[in-house]
A and B are shown apart, each in its own frame.
Chain A
Amino acid sequence: MSVMEKEKATESAATAGAREYLTFRLDQEEYGIDILKVQEIRGYEPPTRIAHAPAFIKGVVNLRGTIIPIVDMRLKFNCSKAEYNAFTVVIILNLRNRVVGIVVDSVSDVMELAADSVRPAPDIESVIDSECIMGLGSVGERMLILLDIEKLMSGVDMGLVSAG
């Protein structure tokens, strides 16, 4: 118990000022997610289709013996096109002992963002539940949409977990 608390304390102390984000592109938009949630980045390989799953769940793949679902974020976020080519990238996320892969157009960078360069996101109508947006980060001219990927992935509408 106490060890865990300590770890948490040190973790939050280290990241209080700035946090590191992995940034990726979906179409023209640029998103950032907490780097600590990222396990690895892989190329896209055709998954095994699952019947009756929503279209954005491409299926499951074998990740070194573990079977993980693959979610295409471009389909989830209604991007105009979702192509699968040699540059398509899968980010493997490790969220509360569950492993999930997300398909994105490309991974751009790992960025450190100070707390003061993150603004709260205005309330906007979008496919993304505003609860799942941690804020908007500005890096020069670019705007980063910072996602709370854990909340997003565990949402009921993602269909990744059995309801109830």
Chain B
Amino acid sequence: MADIHQEGAGADFDLSQFYQIFFEEAAENLDQMEHMLLDLDLQEANDEELNGIFRCAHSIKGGAATFGFADVAELTHQMESLLDRLRRHEIQPIPQMVDVLLESADISRVLLARHQSGAQDEPPSTADLVRRISELASGQVPAEPVKPAAPAATPAPVQPQPAEAAPAPAAPARPGMRALQIRIGPIERLEQADAIKELFRDIAGLGTITDLPSSEPNMRLFAVETSSTDNDLLDLFAFHVAKEQVQIHENGAPPAQGESFGFFPDAPGAPGSKPGNALGAIEPTSPVTRIAPKVESKGGSQAQMESNTIRVSVSKVDQLINLVGELVITQAMLAQNSLGLDPATYQQLISGLADLDRNTRDLQESVMSIRMIPMSIVFSRFPRMLRDVANKLGKKVELVTLGEATELDKGLVEKITDPLTHLVRNSVDHGIEMPQDRLAAGKSEHGTITLSASHQGGSIVIEVRDDGRGLSREKILKKARERGLDVSDQMSDQDVWQIIFAPGFSTADTVTDVSGRGVGMDVVKRNIASLNGTVEIDSSEGYGTRVSVRLPLTLAIMDGMSVGVGDEVYILPLSSVVESFQVNPDDVNTVAQGSQLVRVREEYMPVIALEKVFEVPRFDMDKSSTIMVVVEEDGNRVALLVDELLGQHQVVVKNLESNYRKVPNVSGATILGDGRVALILDIGGLVRRARH
């Protein structure tokens, strides 16, 4: 259905390289959600908390859908629905909700761990949870909240377990299969017991195995579905554990029950404690997995989220970068001081210093590279997601990506991914029309979504552009009035577009699992604001929408040109420098108000003397500014008058505002090789100043 076209990159790429990021994010989100759930005061749940929990679920759902983990996406979608009603105060929070949400978070973790390890065994079932959540969401308070309802009492509201999530045999209790519970222990080394699971994985046709909770720490309990006899199984297991340690029971026999739920030996409500229910016909998937909830925490190695990267806080990396910077300066100082030494006498010292020089530079390079990643990492997440979403909605969408090589700070990449995902989803769902509508409107059948990244005037600008239906002013105003927001018809377009950033605002008529809850935009805005960025919307009804995210270069590395004015050094972003030349007095003209213009190849442009703008003190009156540097911003050019050009180098952009305040015409600062601070000019500001 959807054609995914990606410019400048192979069309077929491996999405799995981003799995790790998703798993880590999801794990963090789950932890955070659990925290917030546990802290939640049910009597006086405040909106901020509920919104926070909701956003966690929403983020996981978004990621899971992107990567095609349908089971996780489905479960979190249900959680989200419940949370959505809660935060809208349509229903009152009750303890059962927290229970069920916590349980869902646990199951999500297991499901994620399965996807991460690529396990082929039966996934734990989510159907029961999904049903309970939707009951709670519809306002019913189950009398016995945790008791699984009789089969068919409530039709499962959604299809549980799409086929791809259950690679293992999915037929319910096939003939000739026996459902068993196997207890292993007491045993000292539990890994031996866990090794049994591998037997089932390795030996085709042996059957399936699932973890069950075991109340005793030195015991393992498994649910097994197999056609083999007890003796065959015992022989197999003998590779790992002694026969005496293995007990096999036909499912339905009582002994295992007390084991499963040590605190409530006969709790009728414990999910899956009744094998009778477990064998019920609610689910098309394997009945054995009904017993799965709560297994994961004791489930042994496979349920653990594995990680082969280290997540390090950004501040630690920053500290590293700063320390290396200091080291480079110290090294430069040592090199300077050793210049006058006699090589014959100090040969060892000098060769040592040369090594130090090389090593510090290598070290600096490696440390810097920790932070920077190309934008393509973010962009290449989208084709797959777009394809799935477009398919789901029956739309035809092309994706074009530009500026993938733009390097972005890792911290920013991580934080920009979620907002961008929302924006792209929104574009597909709300922006792009159905193919027939597009044809009727005289457009091509395929909608186009363009993702672009570029450095602009000391910022990184990421745009999500679509050629869809655009935003409807009337619709937004109407919805805003319905929600009781203060709006008027005289508002400017820009102000109207800003309304869609209000929490919970959505003009979508139906809520889909793609979008429409109105959660996207407020999250987008919040996330981007937390990065000191801005979001701008530009839209024209019928022609499309452009959302530009502008982020400051907080830690990005920039190519800079250093110029001298008086005794001071300023840095110009090299990207905005067009050319520089020695000025010829004849080329400079003055206009009535005293502002100067310079002619460069038949074009007149304003002259800005940095000396005046920055009130540079002059001690050497013989020197004067004779060099013009032409800079460009948004197509406007101005000529900066400077004393001398000092060189080009990569600079680490530092924020002035973290300890000081915003300085006019300055976008940031950097540290020069000698340790001094140099200010980076805000070309955009200077150009605006000159053009006004």
**A residues lining the B interface (CB < 8 Å):** 47-53, 59-62, 64-69, 98-100, 159-162
Is the beta-carbon distance between B669 and A66 smaller than 8 angstroms? Answer: no
Which of B281-289, B389-397, B670-678 is found at the contact surface with chain A? B670-678
23 sample A-B contacts, Cβ–Cβ < 8 Å, listed by A number: A48-B568, A48-B669, A48-B676, A48-B678, A51-B615, A51-B663, A52-B615, A59-B677, A60-B656, A60-B660, A62-B671, A64-B322, A64-B326, A65-B318, A65-B321, A65-B322, A65-B325, A66-B658, A67-B656, A69-B659, A69-B660, A159-B661, A160-B661
Chain B residues whose C-beta falls within 8 Å of the C-beta of A52 in the assembled complex: 615, 663-664
Q: B663 to nearest A CB, angstroms? A: 6
Instruction: Specify which of A52, A67, A160 lies most central, judged by the most chain B CB atoms within 10 Å of its CB.
Output: A67
Chain B residue with Cβ nearest A97: B658
Check if B654 is an interface residue, CB within 8 A of chain A. Answer: yes
Is the beta-carbon distance between B679 and A100 smaller than 8 angstroms? Answer: no
Chain B residue with Cβ nearest A53: B663
Chain B residues whose C-beta falls within 8 Å of the C-beta of A67 in the assembled complex: 654-656, 658-660, 669, 671, 677
Is the beta-carbon distance between B660 and A160 smaller than 8 angstroms? Answer: yes
Chain A residues whose C-beta falls within 8 Å of the C-beta of B613 in the assembled complex: 51
**Residues 349-396 (chain B) with a chain A CB within 8 angstroms:** none
Whole-angstrom CA separation of A69 from B654 in the bound complex: 13
Check if B171 is an interface residue, CB within 8 A of chain A. Answer: no
Whole-angstrom CA separation of A33 from B676 in the bound complex: 29
Chain B residues whose C-beta falls within 8 Å of the C-beta of A51 in the assembled complex: 613-616, 663-665
Select A62's contact among B614, B616, B676, beta carbons within 8 Å: B676
Check if B662 is an interface residue, CB within 8 A of chain A. Answer: yes
Whole-angstrom CA separation of A59 from B676 in the bound complex: 11
**Residues 323-350 (chain B) with a chain A CB within 8 angstroms:** 323, 325-326
Whole-angstrom CA separation of A99 from B654 in the bound complex: 14
Is the beta-carbon distance between B322 and A66 smaller than 8 angstroms? Answer: yes
Q: A120 to nearest B CB, angstroms? A: 32
Total B residues in contact with A, Cβ cutoff 8 Å: 32
Check if B437 is an interface residue, CB within 8 A of chain A. Answer: no
Select A162's contact among B322, B657, B666, B676, beta carbons within 8 Å: B657
Whole-angstrom CA separation of A47 from B669 in the bound complex: 13
Q: B678 to nearest A CB, angstroms? A: 7
Chain A residues whose C-beta falls within 8 Å of the C-beta of B677 in the assembled complex: 47-48, 59-62, 67
Whole-angstrom CA separation of A64 from B659 in the bound complex: 14
Chain A residues whose C-beta falls within 8 Å of the C-beta of B615 in the assembled complex: 51-52
Chain A residues whose C-beta falls within 8 Å of the C-beta of B678 in the assembled complex: 48
Whole-angstrom CA separation of A52 from B656 in the bound complex: 15
Chain A residues whose C-beta falls within 8 Å of the C-beta of B669 in the assembled complex: 48, 60, 67
Q: B610 to nearest A CB, angstroms? A: 10
What 9 new A-B contacts, CB under 8 Å, besides A65-B318, A66-B658? A48-B669, A51-B664, A52-B663, A53-B663, A60-B660, A62-B671, A64-B322, A65-B326, A67-B655
Chain A residues whose C-beta falls within 8 Å of the C-beta of B662 in the assembled complex: 162
Chain B residues whose C-beta falls within 8 Å of the C-beta of A69 in the assembled complex: 659-660
Whole-angstrom CA separation of A116 from B568 in the bound complex: 51
Whole-angstrom CA separation of A143 from B97 in the bound complex: 64
Whole-angstrom CA separation of A54 from B679 in the bound complex: 17
Whole-angstrom CA separation of A53 from B657 in the bound complex: 14
